[in-house]
Structure 1
Amino acid sequence: MARDPWLDNVKFTLVTLVVIGHSLGLLGATALDLQVYDFIYYWHIPAFVLLSGHLSKDFEWDRRHFSSLFTTIALPYLMFEPALLYFRREIDQPEDGPMWLEPHWAMWYLCVLFFWRLATPLLKRHWVACPLAVGVSLLGGLSDELIFCLPRILGLLPFFVLGLHLRREHLKLLTAWWVKPFALAALVWIFRFSAHTDEWARSAFLYYDQGYEALGFSDGDAMVIRAKVMAIGLLGLASVLALIPRRASVISTMGSSTLVVYLFHGFVVRYADYRGWVEPYLDNQWLSLTSVIGSAIALSLFLAAPPVARVLTWIVDPVGSVRRLRYVGGSRSLARQREDDTGDSRRDRPRVGAGSP
């Protein structure tokens, strides 16, 4: 199946924004730092969830899809959850909570994606699942249960379900030329609005990872805030998708390596925090901000570069890597057998320019 360069561009852009968002935590707490941080977090997680839903629409309850769910989602989670947890303990950044039952730091996404994808055959049956998911999200904040990151499973569910029900032609409507000026204006508005988040809510609402009680708001007020945050997230993700180019480019080839970037960037970011690499630049607000963002982009490009990603994919997806190797080997053997059977071997063909007019 031919890859869609626009979707690959979207995937790489969003995973790079994840790296940038996590890297911004290395900065201080200036007004500009917090504004940029909130601006990204309003929509980049919803956008990633919507894209995951859109790419999950073929999932069914059968042996092939269950095998893929285990090898590409569950197995990396089982491996990288303890790896990152013990790495952070070694650099004096311990985290609380039982391993695997309460996902630590960036590992939450694999956990919640596992349960969303498992429920996909039910969620995609009818469009009525979209408004129902909104209700589930608003009511989900009433629970403080953290097992398997339940607040995020329920809170971000509307974006995943919407992605399931959006067809490719719906998403392509966003890339029309006349949409781009409105998309740019919307992002400018969200950026300016992000400077006032603490006046009516808290940045913690943008994570969808806690119940309303822990956020310090009454249930009624918190539901209203969550509804506003979801609306802003939907506007922001639509605007970003509209501005991402459709043409194939260098980053299009990196769109298949998003899981590599997602799973490995955390080790670098946490080590940079431990070593205090950003601290010498914190006195200069603009220098520290641009340096962190530029370094995050460079890290994403490095991890997704084909020579690097090919090696790291063996760690991220060992089962799939073995299967692909066997498939390529089998295809080559079949091709050689066909050449032998037909006598159409390349070594028997005259070379162009060698004895030909």
Structure 2
Amino acid sequence: MTDSPRPNGNRRTPLPPASPPGTATSRTDTPRTDTPRSGASSSKKRRDAFFDNAKYLAIVLVAVGHFWEPIKGDSRFMEAAYTVVYAFHMPAFIIISGFFSRSFDMRPDRLRRLITGVAVPYIIFETAYPLFKRVVDSDPGQEISLLDPWYLTWFLCALFVWRLTTPIWKAVRHPLPLALGLAMLASVSPQIGDDLDLQRVLQFLPYFVLGLCMRPEHFHLVRRRSVRILSVPVFASALALAWWAEPRMTTGWLYHRDSAQELGAPWWAGPVMMLVLFGCSLLLTACFFAWVPGRHMWFTALGAGTLYGYLLHGFVAKAGEYRGWFEPSVLHEPVGAVAVTVFAAVLVTFLCSLPVQRVFRFALEPRMEWAFRRDAAEPAREREQREKRAKQEAGETRESREAQEQVSA
């Protein structure tokens, strides 16, 4: 794929293989693509714009959904829009996370990145959110528990478990049916409890495993112009269906955090709803990917900071809930809903920006070299990478010189 796709949506250059995964949104999570230099045949590695764009747009929808929740009230249209957004925004994000976890193994350097990029942020924010509630909401009884993910931290807990089990999913013959089976069993198992939010870990697991099974060409299938055109009536139909279902179905099914019995439904409804929602989510996710631009946009660079936007916007959303910022009636009217939507999008965009990343990197991407033993094979890998870069630079210099000689001739 190039930075600017062809107008007809066909004949794109295949995506390159994914690079080794880092954190959920770290700079190593996005594969790089070769972009030709002007006046030379050599190329330099750049991040693939499509995945950064997809991550940024997905995290904007996550923030918008959280800010819609306290203002949707009795508005049937707002509830329908909220349902549609919640049906695919986290599945899309989780599929991308799975796609970039394909090369994860138990190599020491990758385990270190998993700890520093997922486990450590989980501990920090799982502590910070309850402390924030104690101060802002004047709730001294709010407990800190690393076993009970609070608000947004469930995703870090789930990602840690999913990545650790990646070698298993790569080893079994039919990983996706197995993951779906586990998710269906979880939907009828209220005894699982809330520890580590295992209901969400298991019920969202199929999306992560699907990402592991996907190849670059699968993303091309949904990014054709025909799919982009068909996605318009699909989204319109989904909105109409959500409007019809609003008084007939609880949105609790979309959160995947409770069993069927806990939602007041018969046990057999759990597996059925799991399969129905999985199919609907995949359809809407495909439509979402169809509209994600593949070229470099003004927000592409923000895709590297989506974990920052995800975890930090929660403090603002919760502060509004604690302080009653969403109570004015004007916010529950169409004009107010639009204003809240714009505010949420601007807020998460700012929180994904480079200055914010620099300030909070100590919490979300700490290096922590002092905490780990040096891998004996790491110097050899670093030396190999240096030699590879030196050969590449030498080749680029030679090709550039030859090109200049041909121009001079």
Band of TM-score, shorter chain: 0.7 to 0.9
Counterpart Cα distance in 1 of 2:272 and 2:223:
31
Q: Which residue of 2 aligns with 1:18?
A: 62
Give 1:200 shift: 4.7
CA displacement 1:173-228 (0-9 Å, x = unmatched)? 21111110112221111111111334553100000001221110111123212221
Counterpart Cα distance in 2 of 1:127 and 1:287:
52
Q: Which amino acid aligns with 1:116?
A: W
Q: Map of 1:25-64 to 2, 5 A cutoff?
A: 25-29=69-73, 30-64=75-109
- Does residue 1:112 correspond to 2:158, yes or no? yes
Stretch deviating more after TM superposition (217-226 or 313-322): 313-322
| Richer in helix (by share) | 1
Counterpart Cα distance in 2 of 1:54 and 1:274:
37
Q: Which residue of 1 aligns with 2:196?
A: 148
1:81 to 101, 118, 126: 126
Stretch deviating more after TM superposition (33-42 or 221-230): 221-230
Give 1:54 shift: 0.7
Q: Which residue of 2 aligns with 1:69?
A: 114
RMSD of aligned Cα (Å):
2.4
Q: Which amino acid aligns with 1:111?
A: C
SS in 1 for 2:299: helix
Q: Which residue of 2 aligns with 1:185?
A: 233
Alpha-carbon spacing, 1:93–1:10, altered in 2? closer, same or farther (3 Å): farther
Could you tell me whether the CA contact under 8 Å between 2:331 and 2:340 is conserved in 1?
Answer: no
Q: Which residue of 1 aligns with 2:13?
A: none
Q: Which residue of 1 aligns with 2:53?
A: 9
Gaps of 5+ in 1: 324-329, 339-357
Q: Which residue of 2 aligns with 1:100?
A: 146
- The TM-score, its normalising length taken from structure 2, stands at 0.75
Stretch deviating more after TM superposition (166-175 or 253-262): 166-175
CA displacement 1:17-72 (0-9 Å, x = unmatched)? 11111111221412122112111111111111111111111110121111111000
1:167 to 186, 193, 215: 215
Q: Which residue of 2 aligns with 1:301?
A: 349
Give 1:311 shift: 2.2
2:136 to 65, 75, 91: 91
Give 1:242 shift: 0.8
Stretch deviating more after TM superposition (306-315 or 77-86): 306-315
Gaps of 5+ in 2: 1-44, 372-381, 391-409
Alpha-carbon spacing, 1:320–1:186, altered in 2? closer, same or farther (3 Å): farther
SS in 2 for 1:26: coil
Stretch deviating more after TM superposition (240-249 or 84-93): 84-93
Stretch deviating more after TM superposition (191-200 or 45-54): 191-200
CA displacement 1:64-104 (0-9 Å, x = unmatched)? 11111100000000001110111022222869776110101
Could you tell me whether the CA contact under 8 Å between 1:28 and 1:282 is conserved in 2?
Answer: no
Counterpart Cα distance in 1 of 2:307 and 2:352:
9
Counterpart Cα distance in 2 of 1:222 and 1:137:
9
- Does residue 1:132 correspond to 2:178, yes or no? yes
Counterpart Cα distance in 2 of 1:44 and 1:32:
18
Q: Which amino acid aligns with 1:20?
A: V
Counterpart Cα distance in 2 of 1:207 and 1:110:
16
- Does residue 1:242 correspond to 2:297, yes or no? no
Could you tell me whether the CA contact under 8 Å between 1:281 and 1:287 is conserved in 2?
Answer: no
